[in-house]
């Protein structure tokens, strides 16, 4: 099994995407990072590659508030194609929103592993990524 985590950031804020990439790289854990500026780009990528599970991310950090297709709309579409995705994808909903409605809504979607409030610190990212790598080896 490949020990490189395919990591995906879906967020419309280019500065946040850049910061997340640099923070993830600073963990020095084995990973490949892909980014998308909205949910539609990410879903289109997945639909275009349904026959190639190896290109799918292992983990997605998904923003809620994005133009074109927000995080919740992405999840609606992802759930439709999930049975055709041949690998487990861990999804973290990431937002600056502390609105209990957003948090409850995210927590009620079983395909979402956790809701994380921005910004995600280096320690939290390293903890998440280390745990995912460990799960893959077990």
Distance from C-alpha of 57 to C-alpha of 89, rounded to nearest angstrom:
7
Tell me which residue has tokens 């395909």: 111
Tens of pLDDT along 89-108?
999 999 998 999 999 999 99
Phi, psi values for residue 109, rounded to 5°: -100, 110
Tens of pLDDT along 31-57?
999 999 999 999 999 999 998 989 999
Q: Please check whether residue 95 is in contact with residue 102, taking contact to mean a CB–CB distance below 8 angstroms.
A: yes
Distance from C-alpha of 2 to C-alpha of 60, rounded to nearest angstrom:
18
Q: What is the pTM of this model?
A: 0.95
Q: Please check whether residue 128 is in contact with residue 59, taking contact to mean a CB–CB distance below 8 angstroms.
A: yes
Domains in the chain: boundaries: 5-137
> Residues near 19 by Cβ (< 8 Å), separated by ≥ 6?
119
Strand partners of residue 77 = none
Task: Give the right CATH number for 5-137 from 3.40.50.720, 3.40.50.2300, 3.40.50.360, 2.70.98.90.
Answer: 3.40.50.2300
């Amino acid at each position: 099994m490949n020990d490189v985590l395919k990591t995906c950031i879906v967020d419309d804020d280019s500065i946040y995407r850049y910061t997340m990439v640099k923070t993830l790289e600073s963990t020095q854990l084995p990973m490949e990072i892909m980014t998308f500026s909205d949910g539609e780009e990410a879903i289109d990528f997945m639909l275009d590659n349904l026959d190639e599970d190896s290109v799918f991310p292992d983990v997605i950090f998904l923003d809620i508030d994005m133009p074109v297709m927000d995080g919740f709309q992405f999840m609606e579409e992802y759930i439709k194609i999930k049975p055709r995705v041949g690998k487990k994808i861990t999804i973290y909903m990431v937002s600056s929103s502390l609105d209990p409605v957003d948090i409850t809504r995210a927590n009620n979607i079983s395909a979402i592993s956790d809701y994380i409030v921005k910004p995600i610190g280096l320690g939290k990212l390293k903890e998440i990524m280390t745990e995912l790598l460990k799960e893959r080896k077990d």
